[in-house]
Structure 1
Amino acid sequence: MSKDTIPTLVNPEWLETRLDVSDVQVLDCTVYLQAGSGEKNYDLKSGYDHWSEAHIPGSQFADLIEDLSETENPEYPFQLPTPDVFASAVSELGVSNDSRVVLYDTVDQGNNNEWAARLWWMFRVFGHDQVGVLNGGWPRWTAENRPVSSTVTTPTSADFTAEYREELVADKEDVRTQIEDSDACVINALQSGDHAAERIPNSVNIPAVGDEGVLDTDGTYVSDDTLREQFSEVGATDADTVTTYCGAGIAASSEALALHQAGITDVAVYDGSLSDWTADPDLPTEQGE
């Protein structure tokens, strides 16, 4: 089979016919958020155990908690690692600059694709465009009775070189400027109730999950036409700069993927999102509809 460009949204049939193609690397990116203990609102659990019991044949597990996030500040989980750390981690998973990478997660329907979209964005930040997300993730894969394996293999290390794209990453100073710029569009990917409760001033809302969001009821992304209509209504289509945010940068990554699918490709994710913004007493928030 000749090498073809990987789609941003990968259908299960596309992947199943390429499971034995050497340059196609499949990574499970699952993280589970569980009810928190003590002062924490949530606890994080790796999806490794589930992956080791049942996964897409030939896939490897990508650990977003430890290996693919900055870990020095536990107050802000899932922040971008350095280019060298990212390159080392994906190289150990068998990903090279010549790889076509398919990402998926095993989260239940309703929050599908967010962890996969997070790693999709990270690959793009570090210069790799041959990357796509399995649309509908593990729930869709199994619902369609696609192949499943319990065989855990050790990947052959590859050579990945990262090239950092600063234009795909926003910080609080960038966002502070953008919310005062009529040619910029800052999009909150949290659900509408959360947006009403507390948000960055002058930001607009399209939820990554829930009603009127970028996911359909079956856990796949809504059609490209619907995405374009949604983003046009909030001004993203005509904006010079588009930035997404959420609570900690995960849902914002799924929103960035949806924007990319709609044809708005140079989208930055505010990596710290509200966790970073609200920690600064000098930065304003607003409430209400």
Structure 2
Amino acid sequence: MTTETVPSLVEPEWLEARLETPDVRVVDCTLHLSFDSETGDRQSESGRSDWERAHIPGSVFADIQDDLSAADPEYPYQRPTPERFADAMEALGIGDDSRVVLYDAAENIWAARAWWLLRAFGFDRAGILNGGWKRWTAEDRPISTAPPTDQEVTFTPEPRPELFVDKETVLEAIDDDSCCLVNALRPADHAGTGLVKYGRPGRIPDSVNVPAIGDESIVGPADNTYLPRPTLRERFADVGVIDTGRVITYCGGGIAASNAAFALHLLGRENVAVYDGSLAEWGRTDLPMETD
């Protein structure tokens, strides 16, 4: 096993120089997500066909909703069991000695979800390609249609349950001054003025908004790269996140929340957890919500 680490945020030149390195496994995590403009119903489509048409050379495709989620989730994208996750990793050729670079064709949210899952199951040798597919192709870097090489590996999960929380923990956090709840959805969703997508409009009481998707996101729309660290720190500091004790991120289904959690990791913040059920669960209960 090489002693070289994987940067949490992987720049394209770093990856291109290691595309033929045997222990580097590149993973496309793309999922296309949209909402019905009248009903707010979620519509999702795997990005596998896009990957088959063109992908980063040597990459494999990970289906977030089918392979990296619970077998029968009550709410979308809930984390799988350690055994199910290990089986999925081994099928992708990701083992204990692998180094993993994750990317997607969206705003890094699916790559961030896979990154957070890997971390939650005890795997730290992973990073996210800064800018993902959008930047990679814009910079005219190599692409391929060839299938990846199969690898026989063993993935040993070592769960870190503290990286996810349930609705009971979130309910207790509402009145806890040492904990900050961060809504990673768009400002209109946070305010409760946008399309109702999760049963009820609005947000969990006392939560603050740091969008991890959309035009005001922590990811720049021009090339899907993360904002510079000083700017990221300012975004979170402005709403009181940096100096609080614990941070819990949430969104609609734990995806954008994982992106916000990853950004906090880039800033060196510890004691961060993702509310896995997020508003897909919370909004369909009688738990409290508020709007502007």
* Class of the TM-score when normalised by the shorter of the 2 chains: over 0.9
Hey, what's the Cα distance between the residues in 1 that align with 2:150 and 2:103? 17
What TM-score results when the alignment is normalised by the length of structure 2? 0.92
Figure out how many residues of one structure are paired with residues of the other and give that number.
282
Give the counterpart letter for 1:275 in structure 2: A
Hey, what's the Cα distance between the residues in 2 that align with 1:40 and 1:238? 35
1:245 to 241, 244, 250: 250
Query: Does the 8 A contact of 2:245 with 2:271 survive in 1?
Result: no
* Counterpart position of 2:283: 278
Hey, what's the Cα distance between the residues in 1 that align with 2:152 and 2:43? 31
Query: Does the 8 A contact of 1:127 with 1:164 survive in 2?
Result: yes
Query: Does the 8 A contact of 1:171 with 1:271 survive in 2?
Result: yes
Deviation at 1:267, TM superposition (A): 1.2
Deviation at 1:211, TM superposition (A): 4.3
Hey, what's the Cα distance between the residues in 2 that align with 1:169 and 1:13? 33
Deviation at 1:40, TM superposition (A): 6.8
Hey, what's the Cα distance between the residues in 1 that align with 2:36 and 2:44? 9
Deviation at 1:36, TM superposition (A): 4.6
* Counterpart position of 1:26: 26
Query: Does the 8 A contact of 2:186 with 2:216 survive in 1?
Result: no
Matching of residues 173-212 of structure 1 within 5 Å = 173-197=168-192, 198-212=202-216
Residues 64-93 of structure 1 show CA distances to partners (whole Å, capped at 9, x for unaligned) of 1211101313x5111000011001110111
81-90 or 229-238: bigger deviation:
229-238
TM superposition outliers: structure 1 runs of 4+ over 3 Å: 34-40
20-29 or 148-157: bigger deviation:
148-157
* Counterpart position of 2:46: 46
Deviation at 1:43, TM superposition (A): 1.9
* Long gaps (5+) in structure 1: none
Deviation at 1:276, TM superposition (A): 0.9
Hey, what's the Cα distance between the residues in 1 that align with 2:186 and 2:270? 23
Deviation at 1:155, TM superposition (A): 2.0
Hey, what's the Cα distance between the residues in 1 that align with 2:220 and 2:55? 24
Deviation at 1:59, TM superposition (A): 0.5
How high is the sequence identity, in percent, across the aligned residues? 52
- Give me the CA root mean square deviation: 1.8
Hey, what's the Cα distance between the residues in 1 that align with 2:153 and 2:180? 38
Hey, what's the Cα distance between the residues in 1 that align with 2:41 and 2:155? 36
